[in-house]
Structure 1
C-alpha cells in the first residue's frame, strides 16, 4: 500500500522526535542511534551512522539544482537530511516501517525542510515511484535484485542511481566477462546500464552492525535502448547462465533443452498472456535449470522429424556464431546478442 504522510501525522512526529533526542541541534541529532525503538535485523534495518560516509554518498550522488530525488529506505533520516540540504528541489522517500516514517518526517520538520520531503509508506518493490532524476538508496540487501530490476526494466527514466549494497552483491553487479564473479545479473544490467564501483563501506559504520561489509555503486542507464526484446533476452540469459559452467554447445544439445525450446512457441500460442510485465526477480542468476525435468503438455505430439530439424537449427546457430565451445561467463553481451539473433532468425524462441 502506498500512503503519503499527512500534515497532522507530521506534527505528531515532530513532537516525538524532539522529545526523544538530546541534541540541541536537529542537524546533529543525527547519526548516533538512541535506541528509541527496536531495529529488526531480519528486515534489513541497519542504520548507516558514520557522518563521513553519509557525506560521501550525498556528494557522490552529484545532485543538481531542480533535481527530483528518490530515496529508498530512508530509515531515521541520516542520509535524507543531507539530501534535503542539497541543491535538489524535492525528495521522495519510500519507507515500509511506520516508525521510520515518523522519524524521517520529524527529522525533516526539525531541520525546517519538510516542504522538500514527501514520504511514501509502502514496500519499495510494490509501490509506484513518482518521477525522479536521481535515486539514492541504502536498501535492505534482500531487495537489491528486485529493486534494480524495477529501476532498470520498469517505466522509469532517470539520470543515475547511487546504491549502497552488500559488498558481495556489488562485486557480482560490476563483474566483467571472464571474471570469476561474472553472472546473469551482471550481463542483464550491463545490457541497459553502465555500472561502476565507487567505494567500500565497513560493517562497523552501521547500527546494528550487519555481518558483511557494503559497497557503493553508481548505475547510469544507457541513453540508447538495446535493440532486443527484453523479455526474450532475459529468458535467453536464464537458459545460458542456469548452467554457466557448461559450454553453450553442451547446454543446447541436451534433449531436455531441445524439447523445452521446441515446445515454447506452441505453449505461447495457447497462453497469449504469458508475455506480461518483466518479473522483478528476473535479474537473478541463482536458479539452475539442471535436473529440471518438468512435464510438458503436448510433447507426445512432436514427431521425431520435427524435433530433429529443430535440433539442427539450434546447432546451425551455434556454428554460425562460432560459440559452441564457449562458456556463457566468458562472453560479452555483444556475443550473446549475436547468438540470440541467430537463434531467433532460425525460429528458436526463448520467451
Structure 2
C-alpha cells in the first residue's frame, strides 16, 4: 500500500491548468512593479549572461561593453549599428555585406524585436557567410548571450510597470531610469543589468548548447543546418526547463500545465509525491524544483521509480536526492525530462494533450536551413 502524502501534509494541490493563469501572473507582477515605481524581479535573480565555467572571453567582452549595438533610429527608421572603439559614429546598416564585415566575431546586442526583424531581413537579402549565419541562428534561438535581443531577456528577468510596453526598448529605459547618453550606452546598461546576479548551473547548461550551436555557423552545409536544427531543439528544451523549474515562476508554470505540482512525504531512500496526474514512464528522469527554508531555491534531477493511482491522485515515487525536503513541501516536476548533454530524444512529451511528439515531426526554421545550406 502506497502511503498517501496528503494525509499528513495538510496542504492542497494547485488546481488544474488555468488558461487565464498566465495573464493573471503577468498582470499581478506588472501591478506590483507599478506600485513600486520601477521594474521588479520576475525570475529568481541569476546572471543570464555570465558564469565562471562559461567562456571567459565572451564574459569579458560583455562586462566591458566590447560589443556591437544594433537599433532602429526612432526619427528616421534607419537600422543603425555602433561598434566598440569606433570614432566615426554609428553605421547605417543598409547593405548585407556590412553584416559580414562588421559583425563577424563580436557579441551583438539588439535593442528589441523590431531591430531584430530588420536585421534578419537585411541578412537574408545577401549571401550568408559565417557572420551572417551566426546572426541568423542567434536570432532564431529563444536564448543567446552572443546575439542578445535586450527586450527579450529583460522581459523574462523582470516585470515592467503596467502602462509600459515590454516589447519597446525605450520602455525599459524609462522603467529603470537609465540616464546614459546615446543608444549604445543604454544598451550597455541593459547588458550590465542582465550580467548581475549569482551564477546558475541551469543557465550554464543552456550556454553550453549555445556554444555548440553557434559553432556550426562557420560551416555552410546542409548537414550542419540539420544538426543546428537538432541542437536548437535541445537549447529550447533546456531554456524552458530553466524557466519551468524556477520557484519564482511556479504559479505561472502550474497554471500553464508545464509543471506538475506535488506534495511530498519523505523517508531516507524515497520521496512520495502526490500529484493530480503523471505523464512519465517508470525509469524516466525528471527535474524537481522546490524552495528549501535554509538554502532557498533548489533543483534536483531524480529518477521516477514508480507511479501508482490513489483515490486522491497519482503518487509518484522518486529516489530521495537528500536535499532536506520537509513534510508537506510543494514541489514542481517539470517536463521535458533531463537528457544527455547534447542528446536529442526520439520522443519528447509535450503537455498539450499529453501526447508523445516525434522528433521526425520537428520543423527546422527556414532561416536556420538558409544559414547552413547557402
**Same fold, TM-score > 0.5, yes or no:** no
Greater per-residue helix proportion: 1
Q: TM-score if structure 2 supplies the norm length?
A: 0.25
State the structure with more CA Rg. 1
Q: TM-score if structure 1 supplies the norm length?
A: 0.26
Between 1 and 2, higher relative CO (CA 8 Å, sep ≥ 6) is seen in 2
